[in-house]
Chain A
Amino acid sequence: MTSLKVFVIARLLLVIPTILLLVSLVFFIMRVMPGDPVIAIVGMKAPPERVLELRKALGLVDESGNPIPLPIQYLNYLANLFRGDFGRSLIWGKRPVLVEIMEHLPATIELAIAGFLVSIILGVALGTLGGWKGGKTNSAVKIYSAITYALFIPWIGMMFQLLFAVWLKVLPVGGRIDPGLEPPMITGLYLLDSILTGRWDSFVSALRHIILPSLTLGLVISGIFSRVARTSVEEVMRQDFVIAARARGIPEHRLVIHVLRNAFIPIMTMMGLQLALLMTGAILTETTFSWPGMGTFLFERIEYRDYTTVQGTVVFFAIIISLINLVVDILYAYIDPRIRY
């Protein structure tokens, strides 16, 4: 068996305890929180039978109304999860949590991709420029990294809204698309769906709506990329092969490709890590721009104390992030064979 295959199998096996630990943490944290979630949901005036009904729905009591011990609740929860059953929402029609997640996921994926592209383009380009040029440019990029990383998403988002929407009136304040312009659903990603269906008015509207949120999210994350890219390029620039290449008179535009290839491994590692941050950043960005994705969905359900949905969504996030990290690790091992040993 090749070393890469062994690595992949080992890494896959490691995902199982990771997810189990995350799921257990979420389960127990939700149950040790103070207050009675059932009363919080049904309100103070609810009759006892309604309270009992909800306790049953939450798996807190059995059919006769007797409390179910916590370990049994936990095993029941794991068994349901294993069957792909994330439970049902406690509010608004009690829809399956997974269905609700799937309705909101495409918006977050679209925003995450756009924000990620912005952050990579800005971060890698500026970082490379700083590391390559050195001197004042390098200092300027350092300052850029520090400032953008420290930016608070709702604040910078609001500034963009004020400038581009309220004062200049060139971009919308929030939302994902103008009313009535939603393209037919294929992937749920409006930009892609509007291209696939040839709805150019929808494409323009979706593009106008995604510019500010993706710029906000991308700008904040670009600070990390620019920092990593800058230090990485600086390090590679000091290596012998660069000095030798310059001595041989290799043109700079060709040299930069070789430098970037060598500097790319730490940048890629950072990309994997930032995907998790992108998800949490999306919560703030989505709330600021009324973007109907997972972030706003989770935020809203926390407000409504929809415990099963919050629990299901957090677990879903945990699983997705574990899987993303798995893919990044595998890619990393593929690019740099030293990782496998």
Chain B
Amino acid sequence: MVEESIMGANERRKLTRREALSTAGKVAAGVIVAGIAGGVAGYFAGSATAPTTTVTETRRETIATTIISTKTVTVSPTVTAPPPVVGKECIVKLRPGLYFADGTPLTAHDVVRSIDRVAKIEGDPAWFVLDFLDDWKALDDNTVKFTLKEPVAFFPALLAVPTYFPVHPAYKPDEIDSDQTAGGAGPHKIIKWTRDVELVLESNPYWFAGMPKTKQVIVKFYKDATALRMALEAGEVDIAWRTLRPTDIQDLKKKEGIEVLEAPGGAIRYIVFNMHIPPFDDPRVRKALAAALDRKAICEKVYLGTYEPLYSMVPMGMWSHKDSFKEKYGDRNLELARKLLEEAGYSSSNKLKIELWYTPTHYGDTEVDVATMIKQQWEEIGMVEVELKSAEWTTYLDYTRNRMLGASLYGWYPDYIDPDDYTSPFVNEAGRWLGNAYVSEELGKLLVEARTKTSIEERTTLYERIQDIWAEDAVIVPFAQGKLEIAYRKGIKGVVLDPTLLLRYWLIYKEEGGRIADRIIIGVTDKVTDLDPANAYDFFTWEILNNIMTGMMRYIPGTTELEFGLAASYSLV
């Protein structure tokens, strides 16, 4: 049976959350089962546990027309069933005939050299390599063998992180090369780079997936969101991207000639109750406060709709997401909150007195409003008195690490797109940066198990269980998930947003007088911090790197699904 659908990139982004969930659930975190290029056999997690397996193969028939062809086929599983847990060895075969943007051939040795650099330089993102790998070597010109420290099912997702991208030999071998413009094997190449001013990209004729539609993409840097918004209105830029203010977005939605696109992002907000600090050592107190939260009000009144209510640490749009907090506490349940507090010995005459900490600028200037609204919501229980306290980011971190904050507000951006990244770093020893606020032996075991299972179904079951325990413990309480918002002038096509937070420039084009324009200008207020993947560690810079380089794996635009990038096949044994 073959079902084939052709859709434009703009249509693709209109996937509903349910659709995104269902498609993401099939193949997220590296579950494409067969080699795309040349039909090389290989498998990812979950590939062979069912009698038949769904394969989503995404091909760009012609990148020039930004048409994405999604073909769903039913195939037989691999002959030998894989072990129930992932192994420590991973073999990646590269596509044949790969080149860097200047025509230099790209081989497995370049992959190894690039990862060697990361390990030698030990920049901020080096942990993506050093924490997971024992060894990496080229078996021949087209094959790389990775030896993992511990088996992890989401290793393919790590291969989509820029830290693993092969870089041009021009990069300095053992030191950070922040302004190096040689790039890698991506859809674009840099032809001009003036830090903080502009980045000019041109199509890379050697890219394995064809030519981007727009010949030249200029990224123009603005210092201020208001200036960026005016630049869009004045027609100085075609697209206003990261990051417009919520009020600007609201205004731009009403402007003629401007379109605003929204999609769920990967950023989440949450409250941390340190379970070692009274009164938060009492689960009834934590549950009562969790039950009294009105997430919708926070998202609508403070964030003006730029955030959505979130009821789980695993964000909406990601496979295994479950609204565990909603199932347990409802949208808002003041009665339950009162009951729990009464059980804990509090009353309207003997109120629970707590401090809620926030940091005033790190999460934007709305933070004081977020804290104030949470205080109001908790005080509406009638048995709680909240004192708001704030500290600048550096002090806030000190206090948190030193276990001085009972209740505090925090936020999280993903490092890699997998439920593991939204759960493991907060619990037990990994959560020391939160003052070890959340300690749970049961959760620790489940998280390790979920990391190592090959079957996506099994992993989903485990993460659903983890989310339920999370809601039951109510130590870390998620409340909002950021939306991605982008505004562009009419005539711009091919803009795709998804929780990976990446904008793919190679899909974007502008129709002008019946023809496709040679150039588009994207305005941003974010910075390109470092053109060296060995040191780059922020989402906007990763976006640029994704446009001038390609990983062995990459995400299918509009989803959190992985597909092969420079790799032709992958096997984890």
Whether the pair B530, A92 counts as a contact (CB closer than 8 A) is yes
On A, residues with C-beta under 8 Å from B are 33-37, 39-40, 42-47, 50, 53, 91-95, 103, 158, 161-162, 165-166, 169, 172-176, 179-180, 182, 286-292, 296-297, 299-300, 305
A90 to chain B, nearest CB (A): 11
Whether the pair A165, B230 counts as a contact (CB closer than 8 A) is yes
Cα A39 to Cα B535 in complex, Å, equals 17
On B, residues with C-beta under 8 Å from A are 122, 124, 127, 176-179, 192, 194-198, 200, 218, 220-224, 226-227, 230-231, 233-236, 391-398, 400-401, 425, 433-434, 521, 527, 529-530, 532, 535
Whether the pair B233, A166 counts as a contact (CB closer than 8 A) is yes
A129 to chain B, nearest CB (A): 34
Whether the pair A44, B230 counts as a contact (CB closer than 8 A) is no
Q: A35-B394, A161-B230, A176-B197 are in contact. List 6 more A-B contacts (CB 8 A).
A: A165-B230, A172-B231, A172-B234, A175-B197, A180-B192, A297-B196
User: Would you list 6 pairs from A and B whose C-beta atoms are within 8 A, ordered by A residue?
Assistant: A35-B391, A39-B401, A45-B433, A165-B234, A174-B227, A292-B196
Whether the pair A34, B394 counts as a contact (CB closer than 8 A) is yes
Whether the pair A162, B230 counts as a contact (CB closer than 8 A) is yes
Cα A309 to Cα B10 in complex, Å, equals 43
With A161-B227, A173-B231, A175-B197 as given contacts, are A36 and B178 in contact (CB-CB < 8 Å)? no
With A35-B397, A296-B196 as given contacts, are A42 and B223 in contact (CB-CB < 8 Å)? no
List the B side residues contacting A161 at CB < 8 Å.
227, 230
List the B side residues contacting A176 at CB < 8 Å.
197
Smallest CB gap from A168: residue in B: B234
Interface residue SS majority, chain B:
mixed
List the B side residues contacting A297 at CB < 8 Å.
196
Cα A172 to Cα B527 in complex, Å, equals 21
Interface residue SS majority, chain A:
loop
Whether the pair A34, B395 counts as a contact (CB closer than 8 A) is yes
List the B side residues contacting A169 at CB < 8 Å.
234-235
| Highest count of chain A CB atoms <10 Å: which of B198, B223, B433, B535 | B223
Cα A92 to Cα B400 in complex, Å, equals 27
List the A side residues contacting B425 at CB < 8 Å.
45
Cα A169 to Cα B391 in complex, Å, equals 43
With A166-B230, A180-B200 as given contacts, are A290 and B224 in contact (CB-CB < 8 Å)? yes
List the A side residues contacting B535 at CB < 8 Å.
92-93
Q: Which of B221, B401, B529 contacts A44 (CB 8 A)?
A: B401
Cα A114 to Cα B197 in complex, Å, equals 20
List the A side residues contacting B179 at CB < 8 Å.
93
With A44-B401, A165-B234 as given contacts, are A93 and B220 in contact (CB-CB < 8 Å)? no
A96 to chain B, nearest CB (A): 12
A68 to chain B, nearest CB (A): 20
Cα A39 to Cα B192 in complex, Å, equals 34
Whether the pair A290, B230 counts as a contact (CB closer than 8 A) is no
Whether the pair A288, B392 counts as a contact (CB closer than 8 A) is no
List the A side residues contacting B527 at CB < 8 Å.
300
With A35-B394, A173-B231 as given contacts, are A179 and B223 in contact (CB-CB < 8 Å)? no
